[in-house]
């Protein structure tokens, strides 16, 4: 009986993914714009009707976030993944536990990654400058 329990514990340790357990397979990303109130849509069809907002996104998902607001130019920010410090520790923890399978699971489901940038912050640019900010040229002949 003891051998069966020991075998089950070894198998469970070997197939578990440390990063998946300690960090999870998704991450909350915050989206902010100046001015606030912009709509945000990702290239993976996730949306926020108005910024600031947050979305729970799978760690393995890379996307582009596009912010739109009437009177302002749309702005797109690429959001990518990178191996995180704590994700790398969980990933390496799989080696210590003998979990080569766990390493594969963490790499596949993205548990070892973080999104960059997070938070996603944009400053929207007006479509046209306000009339007071426009440069006025003097009337008359050029060069006079």
Is 3 inside a domain boundary?
A: no
For 53, the domain range is 12-124
Nearest to 99 by CA among 15, 10, 4, 23: 15
Is 2 inside a domain boundary?
A: no
Is 63 inside a domain boundary?
A: yes
In eight-state DSSP terms, residue 92 is: H
pLDDT tens digit sequence for 91-108: 455 444 445 545 555 555
**Is the separation of the CB atoms in 31 and 52 below 8 Å?**
yes
Is 106 inside a domain boundary?
A: yes
Euclidean distance between CA atoms 75 and 39, whole angstroms: 11
Is 47 inside a domain boundary?
A: yes
pTM of the complete model beyond 0.85? no
Is 32 inside a domain boundary?
A: yes
> In the chain, how many domains are there?
1
Higher pLDDT, 118 or 11: 118
- Position 67 confidence tier, pLDDT thresholds 50, 70, 90: very high
Higher pLDDT, 84 or 74: 74
pLDDT tens digit sequence for 109-133: 567 789 999 999 999 999 987 665 5
- Position 88 confidence tier, pLDDT thresholds 50, 70, 90: very low
Report the pLDDT value the prediction gives residue 47, as an integer from 0 to 100.
98
pLDDT tens digit sequence for 14-53: 444 454 455 788 999 999 999 999 999 999 999 999 999 9
Is 101 inside a domain boundary?
A: yes
Nearest to 19 by CA among 110, 135, 80: 110
Is 40 inside a domain boundary?
A: yes
Report the pLDDT value the prediction gives residue 76, as an integer from 0 to 100.
98
Considering the chain, what percentage of its residues have pLDDT values greater than 70? 55
């Amino acid at each position: 009986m003891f051998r069966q329990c020991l075998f089950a514990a070894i198998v469970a340790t070997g197939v578990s993914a440390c990063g998946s357990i300690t960090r999870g397979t998704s991450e909350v990303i915050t989206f902010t714009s100046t001015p606030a109130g912009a709509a945000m849509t990702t290239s993976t069809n996730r949306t926020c009707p108005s910024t600031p907002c947050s979305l729970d996104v799978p760690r393995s998902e890379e996307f582009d976030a596009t912010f739109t607001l009437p009177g302002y130019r749309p702005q797109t920010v690429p959001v990518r993944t990178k191996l995180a410090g704590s994700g790398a520790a969980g990933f390496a923890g799989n080696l210590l536990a003998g979990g080569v399978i766990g390493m594969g699971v963490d790499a596949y489901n993205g548990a070892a990654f973080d999104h960059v940038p997070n938070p996603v912050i944009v400053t929207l640019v007006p479509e046209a400058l306000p009339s007071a900010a426009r440069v006025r040229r003097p009337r008359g002949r050029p060069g006079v």
